[in-house]
Amino acid sequence: MTDSPARNRPARLGSGRVALTGSLRRKLVLQFLAVAAVVAVALFFAVRVTADRAAEAAQDAVLGAATIALSEGLRAEEDGLDLDLPPTTFSMLSAMGEDRVFYRVTLGSDTVTGYGDLPLPATLPPGALPEFYDASYLDTPLRLAAVTRSMLVDGRQVTALAVLGQTRFGQRAIADSIARRAALLGVGFFLLAVPLSLWAARSILGPVGRVTEAVARRGPHDLRPVNQSVPRELGPLIGALNGFILRLRGALSRTETFIAEAAHHIRTPLSTVRTEAEIALRQTQEEPTRVRLRSVIRSVEESSRSAGQLLEHALVLYRTDRVDRSEFDLAAVVTALVEAFRPTAELRDIALALDLRAGEVPVIGDRLMIEAALRNLVDNAIKYSDADGTVDVGLTVADGSAQVTVSDRGRGLGGASLADLATRFRRGGNVTDVVGSGLGLTIVTEVAEASGGRFSLSPRDGGGTCAVFSLPLR
């Protein structure tokens, strides 16, 4: 309990040191993007292969048709074969672009016409349909088509083979152009995937953020379980959080019970000691014994007061963290407080004057804490007043705040500052003859801080002390 108030409070949300290992969102985004990159590359290759095949098929169709036309241009003559090369054949092929065309016609193993070293197919195509194959000729890759045709030459049945080869520049050009588009498509897909991944990651992590916000937005006293609807995967986390909240609630209520119990166990035996001493004092005439008994009673009062103030201080520290804010009428609280102190003040013939300028004064705060603070102020004023004096308690409303003023005609502050007097267990230098714990003003200052109010202590004009405790109005 000798720790500073700041250290006694549990670390607030966000101020705790949490080791952050990576970001779920970044991980999600990176994973989405990796998948998108793989898909984009696969897309690129798929389009390219398909385009290559399509371009080859287109070339094959033209090449096949031209080869068939070439074979149909063969005519049987007496001395062999005559090739009447149809002009459409080459105009058909020239549509393929810059490509060069090679042909060869063989009859049996003899080349009848064309390039004699143009590669032949591995096997003779069986029917009228062209056989396609790849080969290299003059260091240039060629696409070739071969068609066989049975002919009667000199009354003999012979098989003529027409071979037509074409360089693949046109096909390559088409394939390249399609490949460029495929690449563009892949890059485009990837670029589109970036914002989509970000959006998806955000929407997946959205519930986490909403739960966080719902918990962070809570007041410090709000210990209800979290009952937001969350995705199934967050269920265990919320369950654990609610379990923790329940345990915290238990711990806090045990603290309050403990404070009350501690007070009970300290004050009850002190009461017996005090009462017994008072009886003994009444029954003995011996002065030395009476002096001792007076000292006993004084010590009991001192320790019971300290115990009370320590417990009240603990209660204030503990309640500061869970501030039970509610609206209440400060005027009613001040009136009840003054009435409660009246018999105590009368015992010393001190008058308590109450000056209520305002009617109801609604404020918001922890009523228990604020009452504890005001009790200390009135108690101090009575304690340090001379007999037959007057303690003035006033409540005014000004500039959006309610001000409780407690002024006495006592011995004053003796030059001490509020900062000095509000220090725990520090008392004014001019009050050593009066029982006190040195915690009263500490409690008042702490309550003012926790309630968003202010507390000031100043010498009163004409002697005495003036304490002002102000709270923001509702």
Partner 1 sequence: MRFLLVEDTADLARSVQDLLRLNGHGVDWAASLAEAQDCLAAARYDLILLDIALPDGDGRRFLADLRRAGNDSPVIMMTARSAVADRIDALDGGADDYLTKPFALAELEARARAVLRRRGGAAQTVRQYADLTFDPLTATMTIAGEVRELRNRELRLFEILVNAPDRIFSKDQLCDRLFSFAESVSDNAIEVYVGRLRRKLDGSSARIETVRGLGYRLTAA
| Interface residues toward partner 1, by CB under 8 A | 259-261, 263-264, 266-276, 278-279, 281-282, 285, 287, 290, 294, 297-298, 300-302, 304, 308, 311-312, 315, 336, 340, 342-344, 346-349, 367-368, 371-372, 375, 383, 387-388, 433-435
Place of tokens 């485009």: 188
Q: How many CB atoms lie within 10 A of CB 377?
A: 27
Residue among 166 and 442 whose Cβ is closer to partner 1 = 442
Nearest distance from C-beta of residue 265 to partner 1, angstroms: 8
Place of tokens 């010498």: 459
Nearest distance from C-beta of residue 319 to partner 1, angstroms: 10
Encoded amino acid at 288, one letter? P
Residue among 106 and 376 whose Cβ is closer to partner 1 = 376
Buried b (16+ CB within 10 A) or exposed e, 227-259: eeebeeebeeebeeeeeebeeeeeebeeeeeeb
Closest CA to 400 of 303, 473, 340: 473
Residue among 81 and 467 whose Cβ is closer to partner 1 = 467
Nearest distance from C-beta of residue 380 to partner 1, angstroms: 13
Residue among 210 and 342 whose Cβ is closer to partner 1 = 342
Residue among 100 and 298 whose Cβ is closer to partner 1 = 298
Nearest distance from C-beta of residue 358 to partner 1, angstroms: 22
Encoded amino acid at 381, one letter? A
Encoded amino acid at 335, one letter? T
Residue among 110 and 301 whose Cβ is closer to partner 1 = 301
Nearest distance from C-beta of residue 9 to partner 1, angstroms: 20
Cα gap 231→418, rounded to integer Å:
54
Sign for the CA dihedral angle at 89, 92, 95, 101 comes to negative
Task: State both tokens at 5.
Answer: 């108030």
Nearest distance from C-beta of residue 434 to partner 1, angstroms: 6
Cα gap 112→74, rounded to integer Å:
10
Q: With contact defined as beta carbons under 8 Å apart, do 105 and 83 qualify? A: yes
Nearest distance from C-beta of residue 33 to partner 1, angstroms: 60
Residue among 347 and 398 whose Cβ is closer to partner 1 = 347
